[in-house]
Structure 1
Amino acid sequence: MNRIFIIEDDEKLRINICRLLKSEGYEADFAENGKIGIEKIRKIFPHLIICDIMMPGMSGSEVLEELMKDPETATIPFIFLTAKVEQADLRKGMKAGADDYLFKPFNIEDLLEAIKTRLKKKNINDQKIEEIKEHILAKIQHELRTPLVSILGFSQLIEENENIEQIKDMVRKINYSGKTLHKKIEKFLLYNYLVLIGRNNYKNTHLTIQHLYTEETIFYCLSKLNQELIPKERVKINFEPVTLPLQDEMFETIILELIENGLKYSVKHQSVMLSGYRMNGHYKICVTDTGKGMSSRDISSISAFNKFCEDKISESGLGLGLAIVQKIVDLVGGKIEIKSELNKFTSCEVTIPLN
């Protein structure tokens, strides 16, 4: 049953709305002012909030602004009740994130229709979130189990095998699978760390320290690639030295993720181009490959665990690479842009402010 919360200082109106909603099959609770309303909302987390704009002590706009600060309450649908003379307050409230409004006096049909519409929209969004959660779970299960199965399988074969050369080969495969598993876990942890920083509007102190990066830095990053799968000779470099507000680990992550992504999807044996240069008070890092490319829809849907070849789940791990780069770049006020043409090329360009 959907739970609706009413904040209204007019006692008669408040009680009438509650009675109406209960008669329509909703759960209803209320508060006579904004302060009490916020306290109750944080305890019961209603499915929808109806709030008067003009109230003594704390206005409806201030209530909404306070709720928007908390991720747990920021997504609750919010409907304003307002008098026609409160246009300025209404505009302020709508800018703050309200979903709808009703002018007083309103009729029952309009109120119920507004509630029904907003709850329907919320249910659709909730369903999308559940689908994303299921998608993430499927990705994690597949990507973490695959190397683990190899580790367990080869270790069991070693116990049953007396051939030294075969044992050595299986040990190498176990080592490779272990490193693969470790890398995937580290990616997952890094992404969650970056999400946490972003949600708390917290700027890591390490990101405020300036670091010098040169072509030597790039070569050092390339030395960490798996040379059997991704030989560094396939990377062409034209990198102008620069000082950036990025700690070494973050810069290294940007470079490696962009290069690995480019090499994985480029034509076999073809090179990718890594360039770095100054432009209009910014520094641009660009990696271009000659591969299968991406459609405009693929580009717009890039996010954590959401690769552009969904039917090939085993090709490229968790698909966190570009999402991690995006999070790092966001922390320093930069941006990432992807340009592509199907079956021709993909170019990932990171732009970082120099000031």
Structure 2
Amino acid sequence: MVKCKLKIVLIEDDLALGSSILELLILSDFDVKWIKDGVKALKYFQKNVPDVIISDLMMPIMGGEELFLKIKKNIRFKTVPFIVITANMDDNIKFRQLENGVNDFIMKPFKVKELVYKIKNVIELKKNIEKKYIPDPFSKVTIKLSEKDFLTSLNEVLVKHLKSKIDMNELSSQLFISKSTLDKRVRKLTNKNASQYIREFKLEYAIKLIGLGERNVQYLSDETGFNSFSYFSTSFKSYLNVTPRDYIKSIQNEKDSLL
């Protein structure tokens, strides 16, 4: 079986640097598309979705920041990691990119080995989240649900409806039980009522996305299907005793301290 290579788009206007990065990424067994400016990259992304995007921050016509903000409006790119290459160490610029939702930085000059590790890390985190929240379709080998099977099936339904507000009637219907039985089983297995369990399931997913590198709080709220940004923020703070923005900052500070 042929192993599919990770597809990477490199956007870099410096011909010497771009050529070097391209060659070394190919040697690291990546499938790389090199584009020399942000406008051409935006056009390319209309028909193509890579596994990772690596972009220079400062480029003529359209820089990395403008490109990032444009493509993130497209739902197809919501989970595509975006790594910025920059020689600018200004904290205000760096913090603005993180607030926008950029996943990682690499500062010029750098070793390509560092970039390769960062690419592999963001992809591994993405895969781990997918493994945790996308159930194995071959795992249902019995008709009657055990207690463990019940939570697995419940989580499967919640994942499918993560971005929407599924009501208790629809949820119980998809699990082939009554609404009262649903609440009783959830209380028995988790010591939480069904509404609390669903809310905390969505918050845990948001936390995983932050671990993956997501920094945009509005996106986190949208992806987890909360009715409003304020409700998401209030629920998040109630759950972790810290606001989403402060939690993201603490994760970033912890990450920076390890560099």
Specify the TM-score bucket, using the shorter chain as the normaliser. 0.5 to 0.7
Query: 2:109 corresponds to which letter in structure 1?
Result: P
Which ranges in structure 2 are unaligned for 5 or more consecutive residues?
145-156, 173-177, 203-223, 236-259
SS at match of 1:43: coil
Question: How far 1:294 moved relative to its partner?
Answer: 3.5
Deviation at 1:302, TM superposition (A): 2.3
* Residue number in structure 2 paired with 1:302: 198
TM-score, length of structure 1 as denominator length: 0.43
After the TM superposition, which residues 118-267 of structure 1 pair with which residues of structure 2 at under 5 Å, given as runs?
Answer: 118-131=122-135, 134=137, 195=164, 261-262=179-180, 265=183
Q: Structure 2 length normalisation: TM-score?
A: 0.57
Name the structure where strand makes up a greater proportion of residues: 1
Judged with a 3 Å threshold, the aligned counterparts in structure 2 of structure 1 residues 297 and 115 are, in CA distance, closer, same or farther, namely farther
Greater gyration radius: 1
- 1:40/1:302 CA distance change after superposition, 3 Å: same
- Give the 5 Å matches for 1:8-19: 8-19=12-23
Q: Is the contact made by 1:61 and 1:92 (CA closer than 8 Å) also made in structure 2?
A: no
Amino acid at match of 2:227: D
2:15 is equivalent to residue 97 of structure 1? no
| CA–CA distance in structure 2, aligned partners of residues 300 and 27 of structure 1 | 44
Q: 1:6 to 1:255 in 2, by over 3 A?
A: closer
Displacement of 1:111: 1.5
The match for 2:69 is: 65
8 A Cα contact 1:7 1:51, kept in partner: yes
Q: CA deviation at 1:12?
A: 1.3
Partner residue in 1 for 2:80: 76
Distance 1:45 1:334, change over 3 A: closer
Shift in Å, 1:32: 1.3
Q: CA RMSD in A?
A: 4.3
Q: CA deviation at 1:56?
A: 1.5
CA displacement at 1:333 relative to structure 2: 7.1
- After superposition, the C-alpha distances for 1:297-346 in whole angstroms (9 at most, x for unaligned) are 9876527x99xxxxxxxxxxxxxxxxxxx96x717976898xxxxxxxxx
Q: Which consecutive unaligned segments of at least 5 residues does structure 1 have? A: 144-187, 199-249, 268-290, 307-325, 338-355
* Equivalent residues of 1:42, 1:73 under 8 A apart: no
Residues 92 and 331 (structure 1 numbering): CA distance in 2 closer, same or farther, change over 3 Å?
closer
SS in structure 2 opposite 1:121? Answer: helix
Distance 1:122 1:293, change over 3 A: closer
- Percent identity of the aligned residues? 22
Residue 123 of structure 1 and its aligned partner are, at CA, apart by 2.2
Name the CA distance, whole Å, in 1 between partners of 2:16 and 2:193.
52
Q: Does 1:56 align with 2:82?
A: no
The residue type equivalent to 1:33 in the other structure is D
- How many Å apart are 1:49 and its aligned residue? 0.9
Please tell me whether the aligned partners of residues 183 and 193 of structure 2 are also in contact (alpha carbons under 8 angstroms): no
8 Å contact from structure 2 (residues 11, 56) kept in 1: yes
Q: Equivalents in 2 of 1:4, 1:257: separation in Å?
A: 39
Structure 1 stretches of at least 4 aligned residues deviating more than 4 Å after TM superposition: 253-258, 262-267, 296-301, 331-337
Q: Which has the higher contact order (CA 8 A, sep 6+)?
A: 2
1:263-286 deviation digits (Å, cap 9, x = unpaired):
76459xxxxxxxxxxxxxxxxxxx
Question: 8 Å contact 1:51–1:81 — kept in the other structure?
Answer: yes
Q: Tell me which residue corresponds to 1:41.
A: 45
CA contact (8 A) 1:64 1:93 kept: no
Indicate the SS of the match to 1:134.
coil
Does 2:110 correspond to 1:106? yes
Alpha carbons 1:82, 1:103 under 8 Å: kept: yes
